[in-house]
Amino acid sequence: MENENIITLVNEDGSTIQCTVILIYSLNDYDYIALLPLEEQEADLLLYRYVDKGEGVIEFGGIETKEEFEEASSELTYLLEDLYDDEDSE
Q: Residue 15: phi, psi to the nearest 5?
A: -70, 155
- Its sign, for the CA torsion 77, 82, 84, 88, is positive
Per DSSP, helices labelled H in the chain are: 66-88
* Average pLDDT, integer, range 13-23: 92
pLDDT at 39: 81
Give the three-class secondary structure for 4: coil
d(CA 45, CA 21): 10
pLDDT at 1: 39
For the stretch 28-76, pLDDT in tens is 999 999 999 998 777 789 999 999 888 878 888 889 999 999 999 999 9
Closest CA to 36 of 22, 50, 26: 22
